[in-house]
A and B are shown apart, each in its own frame.
Chain A
Amino acid sequence: MKVFRIIGRSIRDSFKSVFRNFSLSMASVICTTITLVLVAIAIVLTVNVNHITKTMEEELTIVVYAKKGTKEDQVNELEKKIKEIKGIKEVVYKSKEEWKLEMKEYSDTLEVTLDYLDNNPLLDSFIVKVNDVEDLSPIAKQIKKFDGVESANYGEGMVEDIIGVFNVIKTATLVVVVALVLVTAFLISNTIKLTIFSRRNEIEIMRLVGSSNISIKLPFIIEGFLLGIVGSLIPIILTVYGYIIAYEKLGGKVSFGVIEFVKPMPFILYTALILVAIGSIVGMIGSSRAVRKYLKI
């Protein structure tokens, strides 16, 4: 088939010119590699941060303490009122006795102290979970106003701070990645420009003897594509092995509690696909730009 012969020729030509302009090809490949390593880091960070904030959000609770000396029916009344609030997921009652037991288990000093006291100095409480973390603060405020409520706290500030820091990191990586993608496309475009220049006699003859435009352009597009693919190899190997090893070393968990990473499979495969896709697309965008600009046909 004619089409296959033209494509075959294009692939052969594009391989040739990758080697002919070796240093510039290397520069493009290295730039693609650096960009994609950063893209990979960005993806791994973002996905994990999202995963972690989500699990953290699920763990977020409002602890409501009833005022000292509140009677049992008042406590029941309070529970009913809290449950009526919109957006509440779960309300669990935790009596002062339960608190006392838990604390005694927690440390020996506390056990001795609590036993020494005749009265239980602790307060009855509710552990309240909400559907949406955004509602955490307004719901806590609302509960605070109820009769018989001593306090309603949810670790204000800390959560927002963590999410805020993560957002800054995310935005910064995005900016860097976009900038690098542009630089890469530009470098690849320049590489292709050089190829076009070094082959201008050949191109002139091709046009004179009646090569179709697409068969003149195709080798350059393929060359850009190749540069992108080659540039994505190292980042893929790094991310796949890097992530699997890191995940195994950390056992999927960092020692402090709820933080848990995304499992390598199939996440790492999708990431690899994204890297190849970005590499090849950036390569082709770079080469089409060069073809459009320097191959006026």
Chain B
Amino acid sequence: MTIQEQYKTRVRELLSSGTVKMVIGYKAGTTADRRRPLFIRTPEEADQLLLDSACIANLSGYLIAEGLLSDEKRVGIFLKPDGIRTINILAAEAQLNIEQIIVLGFDITGQEVTALQGETAGDFSALIESIKEGAPEALKNPLIDQLEQLNPKERFAYWQAEFSRCIKCYACRQACPMCYCRRCIVDCNQPQWVNTSSHTLGNFEWNIVRAFHLSGRCVGCGNCDRACPVNIPLRLINARMAQEVLGSFDHLAGMSDTQEPVLASFKKDDSETFIL
């Protein structure tokens, strides 16, 4: 039996036994290489389920859709390791009760999809923790190294050119499961903290705000990068900030559901004399 068929069976069981009220997975999209998010509420709907190497989107943002988990019922969701890290963070930041999430874990290497054994996020902790060891290597990117070689002025010019295309659609924010604020700082207009205009300054402001708010929280799922309609290489910013946080604080986001947020926690005996 293929992995896809195994998981279809599991989804049908989860739904018919009443273990979960819904499973969030993938189905076919408009073209052969596209996948769509799928919300499965009956065992029959599981027929549409698809699981292959094109199922790369991190679906965990849907879990915190208003009201979904408020009835305390369980929801199943297809997650890769980056998605499991995401729900760990969401739990650590008190956005969801991780007990309510049944994880249908899988991983993709090249064209191959493998099943991950486990049912709740905690079951995958060994695997998740092992990601940290490989992180310095995994976060490497030749383009980041190239940019590091530039002097600050040249690097600024590079990003200025990239951000000049930004249209401030905020697709990067909407696509990110970690951007869950009810009212994003850029939408606060009493006072207007951040310019809404999509000019050079405004585009910089937005992209810097985004980079900082995701530092130490981003799991590198790539949702933002893929969503950006003008193809700004947001992955470079995310990976560079993750390197920084790993190097400075020995912190990789999403290792457990009790991990302290690195830039949002405070210790009385902190060696620094100020907080940001």
Q: Are A and B associated in one complex?
A: no
**B residues with CB within 8 A of A:** none
